[in-house]
Amino acid sequence: MYNNHGVQRYREADINSMSKEKMIVLLYEKMQSDLLLAQKALREENRVEMTKKVNHSQRIVSELRGALDHSIGGEVAQNLDNLYDFMFHQHLEVLVDLDEVHLINCLRVIDPLIKAWRQIPPGTAENAARENAKSTTGSKPAVAPSSPVEPVSEQVNEAAGKRTSILSVSA
C-alpha cells in the first residue's frame, strides 16, 4: 500500500518537471471539467455544487491571467488576457442569474484553447523567454512563429457583447 506522503512527493515532482505548455493544458482541462460539472449541477438545481465548481474554475482563470507575461507574449498575451477577462465575467454572471449560457460561452472559448495548446511543442515558452532576454532592441516581443493564432468565433464575440479584436489560440 502506498502512503500519502509518497504519492504527494510524486505529484510534486511530476508538476515541477512538467513543461509550462503541458501545465496550461491541464489547467484548461480542469476548467472544462469544472464547467461541465457546474452545468450538470445547474440543470439538477444543485446550487451548492454548481457554485463550488464555478468558483474553482474562476480561480483557475484568475491564476492563468495573473501568469501572463505581456513583455514576452505581446499581442498573444493581451488577447489571452481579454479572453480570461471575458471568462471571469461569465463566471460571475452564471452565479448571479443562474443561466447556463454563461457556462456554454466559457466552454466555447476553452475548447479551441485546449486544442491549440496541445499542439505547442514543449519548451516553446522557455525558448521565447530566452529570445526575449537576448533581444537588445526590445521593440518586438518574442513569440513562437508557429503559434497557431486565429480570431475567436463570432459566437464568442457576440456572447461577450464586444466588438474588440479578441484573438484565440486555436488549432
The separation between CA 120 and the C-alpha centre of its own chain, rounded to angstroms, equals: 14
Asked, for residue 10, whether it belongs to a domain, the answer is no
Dist. CA 157–CA 37, nearest whole Å: 24
Q: Residue 108: its pLDDT value, please? A: 97
CB 150 within 8 A of CB 164: no
CB 139 within 8 A of CB 117: no
Asked, for residue 132, whether it belongs to a domain, the answer is no
Q: Residue 34: its pLDDT value, please? A: 98
Asked, for residue 81, whether it belongs to a domain, the answer is yes
Instruction: Locate 149 and state its grid cell.
Output: 493564432
Q: Could you say which residues of the chain have pLDDT below 50?
A: 136, 141-171
Q: Residue 4: its pLDDT value, please? A: 75
The model's pLDDT over 108-155, given as tens digits with 9 standing for 90+, comes to: 999 999 999 999 888 887 777 777 777 745 555 444 433 333 434 343
Q: What is the CATH number of the domain that holds 71?
A: 1.20.120.340
Asked, for residue 2, whether it belongs to a domain, the answer is no
Facing residues of 167 across strands? 151
Could you tell me the residue range of the domain that residue 88 belongs to? Answer: 18-120+142-169
Q: Residue 155: its pLDDT value, please? A: 39
In the chain, helix, strand, coil percent, each to 5? Answer: 75, 5, 25
What's the number of domains the chain is made of? 1
CB 116 within 8 A of CB 170: yes
Dist. CA 2–CA 16, nearest whole Å: 21
